Structure 1
C-alpha cells in the first residue's frame, strides 16, 4: 500500500479515503447515528414527496419548492453516506478517480441547488405575504418550473469549472485523501502544482453565491416582517408569521453549518482534523433529516395529510 501511495503518477486511477483519522476504533459507534440520520432523511423526505403527490390541494408553489428541497436533500445525503459506511464497516477506502470527481461535483452542485431553492422559497413567501392578491398570477406553474430550471443550471454550471480544473491537475505526490468523502479542497491539495486558481474559484463561488443568496433571503424577510407588523391585529400578525417559521428554521439548519464547515476545512485551524471531518459529514446529513421534521411539525396541511394517511391505514 505504501509503495502505491508514494509512486509518482500524473493521473491516479484511484484515491484512498482515510475516513476519520484517529477514530477508527469507534467507527461502528459513529455509523449508528449516521445511519439513523440517513434513514430519517430518506423516509422523511420521501413522505413529503408522497403526501404532496397524493394531495391535489398541495399542488401549489410552496409545496413544489418543498418537493425540490426533498429531492435535493435525498441526493446530497446519498452522495456521501454509502461510501462513508463502506469505510466504517468494510475498510473499503479506495475510490475510482472519476467516481471521486463525480462525488465532488454532486456534493457542491446540489449544495448550490439547495441554496437556490431556499431563495425561491423566500421569494414565494415574499409574494404571498407582501402582494397576496397577485400571488397566483405571479407564481404560476410555468414560472415555478422556470425557477427550478434556473436553480439546476446555476448549480451545475458554477460547480463544473472547479471539477474540470481538479481533473486536469497532475497528482504526483500521494493519492491519500484525509477525509471520508471527496471534498473539493481535500482532493486538489494533493496536486503537485499551484492550485490557487482552483482554490480561489471554488471559495469565491461558494461564498459569493451563498452570501448573495443569504442576502436576498434577509432582504425578503425584512420586507415580510414589515408587512406583518403593519397588519391590523395581533392574531393576524402571529398567524402570518407562523407560515414563515418553518422556512426560517430550515434556512438556519442549512446555511450556518454549511459556511462554518466550509471555512474551517479550507483554512488552517486549531480544530482537530477528526472534528472537522465529523462536522463536514454532519452538515450534509443533519439538514436533510431535520427539514421534513421542521416542515411536518410547522405545516398544518402536511400534519393533516399525514394523520389522515395513518388513520386510513389503521382502519
Structure 2
C-alpha cells in the first residue's frame, strides 16, 4: 500500500513538472488544434467535377476554406439534380457550417436551397445563373457575364462568315449559365440578315452528345458553315466530329469556355473562336466569398466577371493562362 502511494505521488509530481515546462501553453495562449480538428464542415457540390474549369473552382475553394481551419468535402452530382439535392441533404445531416452549390439545374435546385434555409445553414451559389426567386434563398452568388460572352462569340462568327452563312447551335437551357450564352449567340446571329440558323438543338452539354449531334448535322446539313457549342465539352465534341469528317477548313467551330482543351483544339485548327472563362478569377472570388460568409454571415455583390474573346491571334496568351507548353 505504501509502495503504491509512493508511486502515485511520483507520477503526480512528474505531471506537475511537465505542466510547468517552458514549451507548454500558458494561460491566454490560443489553443492549438490537434490533428483532424476543424472549425466545421464546408460542403461543396458541383454539377460536373470532371469539367476542368469546375475542378479548378472546387479545388480552389476547398484549399482556401481549409486554410481557414475548416474541413471541406466536394461532391460531384454528374449533371443529376436529384443527386445534388441528396448530396445537400447529406451535408445538412453532417452539420455543415456552409454549403456551396454549383447547380445542375437553375430551377430544380430550389428544393436544395429550401432545405438549407430550413436547416438554417447558409448556402452560396457559384458559377450558375439563378432567377430572382432563387437568389432570395442564397446568402450570395458568384457568376460571370455569360450573355455577353455568347454575343461576342456570335459577332466574331458573323464577321468571319462575312455576314453570310448557315449555322447550327447547341444549347443547354436547363442551366441558365448555358442558356445565357446561347441567347447571346442567337442575338448576334439575328443581327445578320445573311445568316440562316438551320437548327437550335437543346439539351446537350457533354462531349459525346455534342459529337453525335454534329455528326447528324453534317449528314442533314452538308452546307452548314458554322456550329456553336454552349460550353467546352460541346466545343471538343463538335471539333472531333468536324475533324473526323475532314471539314475543319469548311466549317467554323465556336464555343464558350476556352478551357485548355479548347485552346489545344484551336492550336490544331479544329476550333476557331471561343470566349475564355475567367475561371481562375472566379474560383478565387468564390473562395473569398465563402470565407467572408463564414466570418460575417454576409456576402458582397455578385461580381459578374467578364470573359475574354479568343481567336488564333490570341492563342499564345491563353496557352500561358492555362499553362500549355
What TM-score comes out, normalization by structure 1 length? 0.28
Structure with bigger helix share is: 1
Which one has a bigger Cα radius of gyration? 2
Q: Which has the higher strand share?
A: 2
TM-score normalised to the size of structure 2?
Answer: 0.28
Higher relative contact order (CA 8 A, sep 6+): 1
